[in-house]
Structure 1
């Protein structure tokens, strides 16, 4: 029997159709504008001679925030996430650890140098918007990570006794609301590749969502501290080289949102590597 009572598909759902080419060269049709793959024909002469495949690069668009979400509402939401983060055992343990390391450094009893002159955040994600045509809601993860970023920044700002402690945040999915929120917290939002270029040997690199190819670009700069990972067993010689020069501490499990800091570690270079 034919299903004559079945509702017709809403024509709105057919809008924003995209062609997506995956790593194997297959082209798929999807909807939405949040993510697309662009095949860049950047072959060098040697590539043409060896018939290498074209480079495929993932290009992300700003996340789509709920239409009625205002900055004031987003700010209120963030304050709630930050309060839960500050009260968590994860932050309490990390704060005590950082305070102790900084104190030991001031009294010259520590082999680690925690003297950083700025923070660079790569891959935070969108605190306000949905990804991949609304299928991925990572807002809570980004909110908690942003709270961690701000509280860590406050620890180092206080230790350095400086009100001009710079912090840069880079992620192509940031939308206007995200930018406004980060800037209200004293952070400078930058576009690719400015964030990569700000990493030095005196940087605290906050990279909860950085891809391996980005870490391969960032870690040769020998950032003083890295919060992210875990960096072990990545099958990257560049990342492994950095890990071998560091000590690390695993963050306590964050019960409010376990995936926000899943097995994440704080890595710091030994004094001799500074």
Structure 2
């Protein structure tokens, strides 16, 4: 008797995660949908050039590739097709509520008030570099980066608002954000929060000694550039174990407080610190105080 015909089960497509590094030094883990290959005009290799076996890196497509190989160009993170701005705003408000009612924010706010209030009064702008995409996602990753970005955005906004409320200025401190993965929804969300989205390298040119730099998870290459401006406050790190003279010199000149574990998402603020310029006469050296 012939077997009953059965339909084959559809095989789930596997999204291969790719780790790419752009020409500015950022390392990104992305799915194949988030990058595209661009083949530049090839040229004849000289005898001194070797065939490259290295992984392709993400670069601006306007720049020539010396080897003539295809380049990976990092694009904005892919958001769910049916996600609307209103839905994204509602999601963000949920994450923000969890953040501002958490013990982590309560302790950090107390430390800002007790130890950093004199420094925060000097802040005239907040610059965020490398926030990630609050709406774009990668399938098959270990951590949902949307959640991390949402909580970090909530921290960014709450810290900026706290500083605005403690300074004598009648205007809110301007907030700027830069990341190549921002998509249209991300930009609209940030705009609705009065955060100005910048394109590279605008954020690097805005840093001064009166800037609060918000950069959790920044790459060493960028940190060296950013910290050279000697911002008065830095949210990010940890910087203590970084193999860089520039970064270690910065750490040696400032104090810091350490965020305790965040119960909402431990990945969002893993070993994050707030670094701040010590007042004259205070002991320095980057000694961290748990918050």
TM-score with structure 2 setting the length: 0.73
CA 1:55–1:214 in structure 2 vs 1: closer, same or farther (change >3 Å)? Answer: farther
Match of 1:135 in 2: 140
Q: C-alpha displacement at 1:21, in angstroms?
A: 7.8
Match of 1:72 in 2: 86
Q: C-alpha displacement at 1:209, in angstroms?
A: 2.8
TM-superposition CA deviations, 1:118-148 (whole Å, max 9, x none): 10001111111114xx334311111111000
TM-superposition CA deviations, 1:6-41 (whole Å, max 9, x none): 55768xx69x99998889xxxxxx97231468899x
Q: What RMSD, in angstroms, separates the aligned Cα atoms of the two structures?
A: 3.5
Give the Cα separation in 2 of the matches to 1:18 and 1:154: 37
Name the count of aligned residue pairs.
Answer: 245
2:199 corresponds to 1:200: no
Give 4+ residue runs of structure 1 displaced > 4 Å after superposition: 4-10, 16-23, 36-40, 48-51, 53-57
CA 1:66–1:200 in structure 2 vs 1: closer, same or farther (change >3 Å)? Answer: same
From 140, 161, 164, the equivalent of 1:157 is 164
Give the Cα separation in 2 of the matches to 1:188 and 1:62: 17
1:244 is paired with a residue whose SS is helix
Match of 2:241 in 1: 233
From 124, 138, 151, the equivalent of 2:131 is 124
Match of 1:108 in 2: none
2:226 corresponds to 1:212: no
Give the Cα separation in 1 of the matches to 2:38 and 2:215: 24
- Work out whether residues 18 and 36 of structure 1, in 8 Å CA contact, stay in contact via their aligned partners in 2: no
Match of 1:173 in 2: 181
Give the Cα separation in 1 of the matches to 2:128 and 2:226: 11
Give the Cα separation in 2 of the matches to 1:211 and 1:150: 22
TM-score with structure 1 setting the length: 0.78
CA 1:195–1:38 in structure 2 vs 1: closer, same or farther (change >3 Å)? Answer: farther
Match of 2:66 in 1: none
1:195 is paired with a residue whose SS is helix
1:221 is paired with a residue whose SS is coil
Match of 2:100 in 1: 86
2:157 is paired with a residue whose SS is helix
1:62 is paired with a residue whose SS is coil
In structure 2, runs of 5+ residues without a counterpart are 1-5, 23-29, 41-46, 59-72, 282-291
From 165, 179, 197, the equivalent of 1:189 is 197
2:229 corresponds to 1:221: yes
